[in-house]
């Protein structure tokens, strides 16, 4: 009986930390060229919220996203940075590991921070404090499950006045530690629904007043040609890999790097390396500087 009560209390705790997104109805992917403020955008999501239709749109030059109600269709969109990146990604080789955008196109560095699900109670607050003090824009690869596990930590990150681009890192970040064949693990594990994994994290962000971006990081950096194509063509998302996974690369940060660290407490050696040997050059936001 005592065990049952304990289990029930755990279940209710888990449930109370899940964010309610049921007010976001009929959430779906669309692809519609549109004008916003006189500049070309692409509408990539549509949903119903409090009796109005809402859209997520992306500026096809700057790759910044915003949420709007009405759309102004654009009949003949000009070639854009977004379409060039999509074309280049579709034509590129699709390795099992680390497919996607891995460099900046300029002399800056992009800092990406992965928040995979974690049983660690805390997070790498020192890293976020450092980013705040030094005005470093962050590309945070977020999972809905980490947020459900750590609502207070997530709130602290939201309240820290950071410059954040939310990179979708899936909702559940499936991972089987006993499956050593990468082609059967992470998103390549059969029952995963790509749509649910993407949409649940986007809806969680929207319900927190945040704006999803066009960027996506594959869990484990593991993907297939089919997944890359679906990500780009069905969901208008751009996969982001890394040129310097700090905990395992053994390299200092160099100009042009997309740096990967874990902010969820699961890989403290990467955070240590980052804080002990800071890069002295420019950091920029992922939308501004991501390239190939």
- Cβ 264 to Zn ion shortest distance, Å: 8
The residue count for binding Zn ion (CB under 5 A) is 3
Q: Does 197 sit near Zn ion (CB under 5 A)?
A: no
Q: Does 202 sit near Zn ion (CB under 5 A)?
A: no
Closer residue to Zn ion, CB minimum distance, 219 or 256: 219
Closer residue to Zn ion, CB minimum distance, 116 or 261: 116
Q: Does 114 sit near Zn ion (CB under 5 A)?
A: yes
Pick the stretch among 16-24, 40-48, 113-121, 272-280 that binds Zn ion (CB under 5 A): 113-121
Joined tokens for residue 252:
């200092």
Q: Does 115 sit near Zn ion (CB under 5 A)?
A: no
> Torsion angle of alpha carbons 56, 57, 63, 65, nearest 10°?
-50
Q: Does 71 sit near Zn ion (CB under 5 A)?
A: no
Pick the stretch among 11-19, 37-45, 132-140, 211-219 that binds Zn ion (CB under 5 A): 211-219
Q: Does 200 sit near Zn ion (CB under 5 A)?
A: no
Closer residue to Zn ion, CB minimum distance, 71 or 157: 157
- Cβ 36 to Zn ion shortest distance, Å: 32
Joined tokens for residue 17:
């930390």
Pick the stretch among 110-118, 127-135, 145-153, 187-195 that binds Zn ion (CB under 5 A): 110-118
Joined tokens for residue 175:
């991972």
Q: Does 33 sit near Zn ion (CB under 5 A)?
A: no
- Cβ 116 to Zn ion shortest distance, Å: 3
Pick the stretch among 155-163, 216-224, 246-254, 269-277 that binds Zn ion (CB under 5 A): 216-224
> Of 164, 116, 110, whose CA–CA distance to 140 is shortest?
164
Which residue spans within 37-154 are E strands per DSSP?
39-49, 52-59, 65-68, 72-73, 110-115, 138-142
- Cβ 63 to Zn ion shortest distance, Å: 22
Q: Does 222 sit near Zn ion (CB under 5 A)?
A: no
Residue at shortest CB range from Zn ion: 116
Pick the stretch among 41-49, 109-117, 189-197, 250-258 that binds Zn ion (CB under 5 A): 109-117
Instruction: Give backbone dihedrals phi and psi of 215, rounded to 5 degrees, phi first.
Output: -100, 145
Pick the stretch among 100-108, 115-123, 183-191, 198-206 that binds Zn ion (CB under 5 A): 115-123
Q: Which one among 58, 63, 113, 116 touches Zn ion, defined by CB under 5 A?
A: 116
Chain contacts with Zn ion (rule: CB under 5 A): 114, 116, 219
């Amino acid at each position: 009986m005592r065990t049952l009560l304990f289990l029930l209390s755990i279940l209710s705790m888990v449930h109370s930390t899940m964010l309610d997104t049921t007010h976001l109805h009929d959430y779906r992917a669309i692809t519609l060229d549109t004008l916003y403020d006189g500049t070309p955008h692409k509408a990539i999501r549509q949903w119903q919220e409090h009796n109005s239709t809402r859209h997520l749109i992306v500026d096809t030059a700057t790759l910044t996203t915003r949420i709007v109600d009405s759309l102004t269709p654009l009949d003949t969109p000009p070639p854009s940075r977004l379409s060039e990146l999509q074309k280049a990604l579709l034509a590129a080789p699709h390795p099992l590991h680390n497919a996607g955008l891995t460099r900046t196109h300029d002399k800056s560095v992009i800092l990406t921070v992965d928040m995979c699900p974690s049983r660690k109670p805390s997070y790498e607050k020192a890293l976020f404090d450092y980013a705040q003090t030094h005005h470093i824009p962050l590309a945070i690869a977020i999972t809905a499950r980490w947020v459900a596990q750590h609502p207070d930590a997530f709130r602290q990150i939201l309240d820290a006045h950071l410059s954040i681009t939310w990179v979708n890192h899936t909702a559940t970040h499936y991972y089987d530690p006993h499956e050593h064949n990468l082609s059967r693990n992470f998103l390549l594990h059969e029952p995963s629904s790509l749509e649910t994994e993407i949409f649940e994290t986007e809806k969680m962000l929207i319900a927190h007043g945040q704006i999803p971006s066009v960027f996506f990081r594959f869990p484990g950096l593991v993907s297939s040609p089919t997944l890359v194509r679906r990500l780009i063509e069905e969901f208008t998302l751009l996969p982001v890999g890394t040129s310097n996974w700090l905990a395992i690369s053994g390299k200092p940060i160099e100009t042009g790097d997309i740096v990967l660290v874990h902010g969820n407490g699961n890989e403290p050696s990467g955070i240590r390396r980052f804080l002990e040997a800071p890069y002295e050059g420019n950091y920029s936001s992922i939308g501004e500087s991501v390239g190939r």
